[in-house]
Homo-oligomer: A and B are copies of this chain.
Amino acid sequence: MSELLVVGSTAYDTIITPAERREYIIGGSAAFGAYAASFFTKTRLCGAVGSDWGPERTQIFTDRGIGVDDLKIHADEKTFFWEGEYFLETNTRRTLQTQLNVLTKFSPDLCDASRASSFVFLANISPVLQMQALRQCENVKLAVADTMNFYITNERDALLELMTMVDGLVLNDEEAEMLTEKKDLFSAGDQLLSMGPKFVIIKKGSHGCVFFAKDEIFSLPAFPTRDVIEPTGAGDCFAGAMMGYLASRDATDYAAIKKAVAYGTVTASFVVEDFSFDALRRIERAEIDARFEAYRSMLEI
């Protein structure tokens, strides 16, 4: 079993769905990713929060054994804040407010244990910060990055450089199209591979995902989940669980990655069943494994 480092944002989110409004709930790519990964392996969380982040928030992570030495508290700042509204029927969302706050000060400076991590998940945040963290890791066996439309548009050069440094890239179909200007998923996948990473995973939300590597391709469906309450963090949990599983197996081969993608898929299927990662907080690893077996059985033909 290897340890996993998760670098990214930790945030407060205010989320509006057709049914409900929730204020100042925990969000952020690294928060979701590390929480999901912690079901699989020893995980460290690297991020930055403000003075409004109470110790009871941190405890949610330490209760799951997540290392928080690199979760820096900036007393003179507020935590990164995002407010968004979901329109579930059209599968779209709208950003109402973004306050970068402490993220403008965030400069990853890893502790020795984090620097020794052999599995690194660079969750969605500025590619400049993703590179800064990755360069401090001296023992990397597998590094995977996520990104989003904002960085594709505004920090494209840094993102292109990051892509030459990582083994895998995870992004959704819209982002893949934005980054490659290819509408066809296969052309986008091929082009992304040519830009550096050894594999690319294109997420398609409720339609599952497609994995691309030089001589391999696979497509897996989402786990059929009827009770979608709120989808924030599903992609982060998908990638976090995937990396957590790979670290737990200390594996980077194709078969392990496929199984890891399946674990990511079923873990993400819990997250959407409640706000924040409340649904994950109610379950144990056994419930993920049970859903994994249901998923595996569903795919047996």
Q: What is A's interface to B at a CB cutoff of 8 Å?
A: 88-90, 183-186, 204, 206-208, 210, 217-224, 226, 258-259, 262, 295-296, 298-301
Given contact pairs A207-B204, A210-B224, A218 touches B298 in the complex (Cβ within 8 A): yes
Q: In whole angstroms, how far apart are the Cα atoms of A206 and B222 in the complex?
A: 14
B219 touches A183 (CB 8 A): no
Q: List 6 A-B contacts (CB under 8 A).
A: A89-B184, A208-B221, A218-B298, A219-B221, A258-B301, A296-B301
Q: Are A186 and B224 in contact (CB under 8 A)?
A: yes
The 10 A-B residue pairs with the shortest CB-CB distance, nearest first, are A207-B207, A219-B221, A299-B299, A262-B301, A89-B183, A186-B226, A218-B298, A221-B221, A219-B224, A217-B224
Highest count of chain B CB atoms <10 Å: which of A88, A217, A300, A301: A301
A262 to chain B, nearest CB (A): 4
Question: How many copies of this protein are present in the complex?
Answer: 2
Question: Given A218-B298, A259-B301, A299-B301, list of 14 further CB < 8 A pairs?
Answer: A89-B183, A90-B183, A185-B206, A207-B207, A208-B208, A208-B219, A217-B224, A218-B224, A219-B221, A219-B222, A219-B298, A262-B301, A299-B299, A299-B300
Q: Which residues of B contact A185 (CB under 8 A)?
A: 206
- Give A210 to B206 CA distance when docked, in angstroms: 11
C-alpha spacing A208/B299, complex, angstroms: 13
Chain B residues lying within 8 Å of A226, measured Cβ to Cβ, are 186
Q: How far is the CA of A220 from the CA of B207 in the complex (A)?
A: 10
Interface hub of A207, A217, A223 (most chain B Cβ within 10 A) = A207
Chain B residue contacts of A89, Cβ below 8 A? 183-184
Chain B residues within an 8 Å CB radius of A186 = 224, 226
CB distance from A18 to the nearest CB of B (A): 11
Which residue of B has the minimal Cβ distance to A265?
A: B301
CA distance A299 to B223 in the complex (A): 13
A184, A226, A298, A299 interface centre (most CB from chain B within 10 Å): A299
B residues less than 8 Å from A210 (CB atoms):
224
Complex Cα distance, B290 from A211, in Å, reads 21
Q: What residues on B are CB-neighbors of A183 within 8 Å?
A: 89-90
- The complex places the Cα of A277 from the Cα of B224 at a distance, in Å, of 32
A279 nearest CB across to chain B (Å): 17
Residue among A207, A210, A221, A223 with most chain B CB within 10 A:
A221
Bound-state Cα–Cα, A113 to B219, Å:
41
> A206–B173 Cα gap in the complex (Å)?
13
Q: How far is the CA of A84 from the CA of B183 in the complex (A)?
A: 21
* A300 partner residues in chain B, CB cutoff 8 A: 299-300
Q: How far, in angstroms, from A89 to B186 measured CA to CA in the complex?
A: 12
- Chain B residues positioned under 8 Å from A301 (CB to CB): 220, 258-259, 262, 295-296, 299
Q: Give the distance in Å from the alpha carbon of A88 to the alpha carbon of B219 in the complex.
A: 20
